[in-house]
Chains A and B, each alone.
Chain A
Amino acid sequence: MTDTTTATTTTTIELSDVGRTYTRGKKEVRALTGVDLTIKQGEFITLFGPSGCGKSTLLRLIAGLDTQTTGEISVFGSTPKEASARKDIAWIPQSSALLPWLDITANASLSNVINTKADRSGATTRRPEDAGDLLGEIGLADFRESRPDQLSGGMRQRASIARGFAQGAPLMLMDEPFSALDELTRDTLRIRLLELWDRHKKTIVFVTHSAQEAVLLSDRVVVMSPRPGRIREVVDIDFPRPRTWELAETTEFVAKVAEVKQILWSAWEGDE
Chain B
Amino acid sequence: MISVDALAPVRRRRRRIFPRTGNAALTVGAPIVLFLLLALVWQWAASTFKSVLPPIQNIVTDIVGRPDFYLSNLGVTVGSAMAGFAIGISVALVLGAAVVHFRFLRAAIMPLALLLNVTPIVAISPALVVAFGFNDIPHILVAALTAFFPMLINSITGLRAVDPQALEVFDAMAASRWEIFSRLRVPSSLPYLFAGARLSVAAAMIGAIVSEFTGSSKGIGAVIVTATTYLNLSQMWGAIFFSAITSLILLGLVGLAERLTVRW
Taking Cβ atoms with an 8 Å cutoff, the residues of A that contact B are 63-65, 81, 84-85, 87, 89-91, 93-95, 97-101, 110-111, 113-115, 117-118, 139, 143, 146-155, 158, 163, 167, 173, 181-182, 184-185, 188-189
* Residue B18 is within 8 A (CB to CB) of chain A in the complex: no
Q: Are A115 and B176 in contact (CB under 8 A)?
A: yes
Q: Which residues of B contact A143 (CB under 8 A)?
A: 9
- Of the candidates B4, B8, B172, B262, the one whose C-beta lies within 8 Å of that of A173 is B172
Sample of 14 further A-B pairs with CB below 8 A, known A114-B173, A149-B12: A65-B172, A99-B166, A99-B187, A101-B262, A114-B170, A114-B179, A143-B9, A147-B264, A150-B9, A151-B10, A152-B6, A155-B6, A158-B5, A188-B4
Chain B count of residues within 8 A CB distance of the other chain: 31
Q: Which residues of A contact B168 (CB under 8 A)?
A: 65, 91, 93, 97
Q: Are B263 and A85 in contact (CB under 8 A)?
A: no
Q: Are B179 and A115 in contact (CB under 8 A)?
A: yes
- Best-buried of A93, A150, A158 by chain B (most CB within 10 Å): A93
Q: Are B10 and A150 in contact (CB under 8 A)?
A: yes
Which residues of chain B from 168 to 226 have a CB within 8 Å of any chain A CB?
168-176, 179, 183-184, 187, 190
* Residue B24 is within 8 A (CB to CB) of chain A in the complex: no
Q: Are A87 and B173 in contact (CB under 8 A)?
A: yes
Q: Which residues of B contact A100 (CB under 8 A)?
A: 264
Q: Which residues of A contact B1 (CB under 8 A)?
A: 188
Closest-CB distance, B177 to chain A (whole angstroms): 12
Q: Are A152 and B176 in contact (CB under 8 A)?
A: no
* Residue B245 is within 8 A (CB to CB) of chain A in the complex: no
Which residue of chain A has the shortest Cβ distance to B171 in the bound complex? A65
Q: Which residues of A contact B4 (CB under 8 A)?
A: 154, 182, 184-185, 188
Q: Which residues of B contact A151 (CB under 8 A)?
A: 9-10
Q: Are A95 and B165 in contact (CB under 8 A)?
A: yes
- Of the candidates B172, B183, B184, B264, the one whose C-beta lies within 8 Å of that of A63 is B172
- Best-buried of B168, B187, B263 by chain A (most CB within 10 Å): B168
CA distance A82 to B175 in the complex (A): 13
Which residue of chain B has the shortest Cβ distance to A86 in the bound complex? B174
Closest-CB distance, A43 to chain B (whole angstroms): 19
Q: Are A91 and B174 in contact (CB under 8 A)?
A: no
7 smallest A-B Cβ distances: which pairs? A154-B5, A91-B172, A93-B165, A97-B165, A100-B264, A97-B166, A185-B5
CA distance A193 to B197 in the complex (A): 44
- Against A, the Cβ 8 Å flags (1 = close, 0 = not) of B1-20 are 10111111111100000000
Closest-CB distance, B85 to chain A (whole angstroms): 25
Closest-CB distance, B188 to chain A (whole angstroms): 8
Q: Which residues of A contact B68 (CB under 8 A)?
A: none
Q: Which residues of A contact B7 (CB under 8 A)?
A: 152
CA distance A238 to B175 in the complex (A): 39
Q: Which residues of B contact A188 (CB under 8 A)?
A: 1, 3-5
Which residue of chain A has the shortest Cβ distance to B182 in the bound complex? A113
CA distance A64 to B172 in the complex (A): 7
- Best-buried of B11, B173, B175, B184 by chain A (most CB within 10 Å): B173
CA distance A65 to B174 in the complex (A): 9
Q: Which residues of A contact B174 (CB under 8 A)?
A: 64, 81, 84-85, 87, 115, 118
In the complex, 28 of the A-B residue pairs with CB atoms within 8 angstroms, ordered by the A residue number, are A81-B174, A84-B173, A85-B174, A90-B172, A91-B169, A91-B172, A91-B173, A93-B165, A94-B165, A97-B168, A99-B166, A99-B184, A101-B264, A113-B179, A115-B174, A139-B6, A143-B9, A146-B9, A149-B10, A151-B9, A152-B7, A152-B8, A153-B5, A154-B6, A167-B173, A185-B5, A188-B4, A188-B5
If the complex has contacts A93-B168, A97-B166, A99-B166, are A155 and B5 also in contact, measured as CB distance less than 8 A? yes
- Against A, the Cβ 8 Å flags (1 = close, 0 = not) of B71-101 are 0000000000000000000000000000000
Q: Which residues of A contact B8 (CB under 8 A)?
A: 152
CA distance A267 to B27 in the complex (A): 65
- Of the candidates B5, B166, B173, the one whose C-beta lies within 8 Å of that of A111 is B173
- Best-buried of B1, B163, B166, B172 by chain A (most CB within 10 Å): B172
Closest-CB distance, A140 to chain B (whole angstroms): 8
- Best-buried of B8, B169, B264 by chain A (most CB within 10 Å): B169
Closest-CB distance, A24 to chain B (whole angstroms): 19
Which residue of chain B has the shortest Cβ distance to A173 in the bound complex? B172
Q: Are A147 and B263 in contact (CB under 8 A)?
A: yes
If the complex has contacts A101-B187, A114-B179, A148-B264, are A84 and B172 also in contact, measured as CB distance less than 8 A? yes
